[in-house]
Amino acid sequence: MAEMGRMDITPRYDFACMQRVQTALRPPWLIVCFGQQGVRHYKQNKACEDNFVVGGCNDAAGTHVTWLVLADGISNCSHAEWGSREACHAVNAYLGREISRGAKPGLDVLTQAIGAAHTTLADLAIRMNRSIHDFGTTLAIGLLHGQSIYAATIGDSSAAISMVSEAITGTPTGDHTRTYAPFCTARPSGKDDHSYSVTEPTWIDMIARAETHNLDVDLFMLATDGGHNFFLDPTPDGHVFDPAYPEYLLGRLQNPEVGPLLIGNVLSFFMKEVDAENDDDRTVLIAVRYPDPEEGE
């Protein structure tokens, strides 16, 4: 793995800190991840209930596979932060083991990985003599393999994609417009507005899945519900895409001296300007298709 870096931000005592920024270069993808404890949990001195993992391995053909795993512990569950952490690690371990042994990267292996997370939490509940529902958590996975992107989600974390759509006429630099689209839409549970959880016995019926093999897709994003406003804007008729911050980040990534500090500054600006939805924890995982300079030679 070509790690660009990771930094843990020193907390400000008047504002919930940005707990974690992580970047990694997995050609052709540049991975940018950030997580922030919600103001509500910060003031109550409670743990951040979001967790994420970035992993990868080579498949049977020697092609590198990268995955992004994101979980949001459900607040009314007594051990939600444990559930989200253990679910992420279970998915990471399962994908690394099975894909390196020859499992085909795709939607089926993502479904099986969610099943591994469910089994892990069930085993944890038995060991701790607790109900599995004490560890309730959402789960969202994005898998990047060659030109393909696969995603599977349970709960109210969701995925979106973006691509250059068409040239803007009359611009000397050949600027382009971008198209944003929901990719793997989160499913509402319909029961007291509580989110679906990987701990549900019928978890397999709650999964939303999607895939694309379009090389024009150059931006993939996963977000917990608290982080949706990185690319969504709430309106009376529902959320609509707001490209301001994704495009601001994309513009800064063109800097030849791009690194964790510059990315951290961009994300800090977003967090200062835009409050988390419902003062919730928020985590966003972003994959940018990064052109290889050697391809032009």
What does 105-119 look like in DSSP terms, one character per residue? SSHHHHHHHHHHHHH
Q: Could you tell me what percent of the chain has a pLDDT over 70?
A: 84
pLDDT digits (tens, 9 = 90+) for 36-48: 888 777 777 788 8
Mean pLDDT of 166-191: 62
pLDDT digits (tens, 9 = 90+) for 73-115: 998 899 999 999 999 999 999 999 999 999 999 999 999 999 9
Q: Could you tell me which of 36, 112, 115, 116 has the C-alpha nearest to residue 282?
A: 36
pLDDT-based confidence at 172, cuts 50/70/90?
Answer: very low
Structure token digits, residue 148? 């393909």
Prediction pTM value: 0.87
Q: Which residue has the higher pLDDT, 137 or 295?
A: 137
Position 281 pLDDT exceeds 80: yes
What pLDDT score does 51 carry?
A: 94
pLDDT-based confidence at 16, cuts 50/70/90?
Answer: low
Q: Evaluate whether 179 touches 92 at the Cβ level (below 8 Å).
A: no
Mean pLDDT of 174-191: 69
Q: Which residue has the higher pLDDT, 261 or 203?
A: 203
* DSSP-derived 3-state class of residue 139: strand
Q: Which amino acid is at 273?
A: E
What pLDDT score does 152 carry?
A: 96
pLDDT-based confidence at 169, cuts 50/70/90?
Answer: very low
Whole-number Cα distances in Å, 84 to 91, 169, 263: 11, 47, 25
Q: Which residue has the higher pLDDT, 64 or 296?
A: 64
Position 245 pLDDT exceeds 70: yes
What structural domains does the chain harbor? Answer: 2-10+22-296 (3.60.40.10)
Q: Which residue has the higher pLDDT, 267 or 58?
A: 58
Mean pLDDT of 26-38: 89
Summary mean pLDDT of the chain: 84
The contacts found for 25-28 with CB under 8 angstroms, 24 or more apart, are: 25/290, 26/1, 26/2, 26/56, 26/64, 26/66, 26/144, 27/2, 27/64, 27/290, 27/292, 28/289, 28/290, 28/291, 28/292
